Amino acid sequence: MIGVFDSGIGGLRLLDKLRQRWPQEDFVYLADQAHVPYGSLDRDTLLDLLQLNLNWLEKQGADRIVVACNTASATGIARRYRGQAQIVEIISKTCEQIPASTAKILVLATPFTAQSHRYQQVLARQLPQAEVKEVGLSCLAFMIEHLCPKQEIETYLKGELNAYQNGFDLAVLACTHFPFARDQFAKVLGIPLIDSESIALEAPAQPGQGTLRIATTGSVELLARQLRGLMNWDVPCEQIQIEV
């Protein structure tokens, strides 16, 4: 079984891609919506929450867990997790998609991820010749979680990214929420976009039965609306309790 974790609904598109690739694999998705935004939490509290969330996924049978949340990945949870499941963090996997010839990279992330400079650190090893600019977008994940109209999102991006519209070879959408606004980013920036949805993962060792569970620590009613509004999915959700 593969577990997919995110602080909210950002990882749903990645989940969808993985299910399309391996339709017979079993998946369990957990959104820690009771504790968003993760960027407002201190590092120790965030690490404690991540341990508990990933442990819950492992107890459901997940032997491999994709941490789709960039903010969570920026804490280094992949090497800190105290459990048996294999943890796949999203940042390194996303950077692997960037062409070796890229000279100037714009990384668009949550403020926590941008301030951690985790993308800059990974890219310094992978593409030492590249110039990397990290920009934190403080409102976008919230706007997407709350199903804001596309025009409002485009207006927000124009205001935030006006200074970065020229001089970059590509932009990394370094938050799993951001691909929901991919069209708006494309209109504003007009350059190639890289995100986490096409990351390379090894195939499961053995197929499952194609089951899917979706859980949240927040409101199941809100998650159900988000699933319908963003993914056109009408699937049952369950609520669980995770408290530090």
- 229: CB partners within 8 A, 6+ apart: 147
Catalytic residue selected from 139, 148, 175, 237: 175
Name residue, tokens 């920036």: 189
Closest CA to 55 of 80, 84, 90: 84
Rounded to whole angstroms, the Cα distance separating 105 from 239 reads: 39
* Residue in this structure with the two tokens 């990974």, named with its chain if needed: 122
Residues pairing with 107 in the sheet:
134, 172
Give the 3-state secondary structure of residue 80.
Answer: helix
Q: How far apart (Å, rounded) are the C-alpha atoms in residues 47 and 3?
A: 18
**What is the C-alpha to C-alpha distance for residues 21 and 19, in angstroms, rounded to an integer?**
5
Catalytic residue flag (residue 237): no
Q: Tell me which of 69, 139, 148, 237 is the catalytic residue.
A: 69
Contact call for residues 188 and 171 (beta carbons, < 8 A)? no
Q: Are 34 and 64 in contact, with CB atoms under 8 Å apart? A: no
Active site residue 148: no
> Are 42 and 19 spatial neighbours (Cβ–Cβ below 8 Å)?
no
Give CA–CA dist 242/244, Å, rounded: 7
The CA distance from 33 to 77, in Å, is 18
Catalytic (active-site) positions: 69, 175
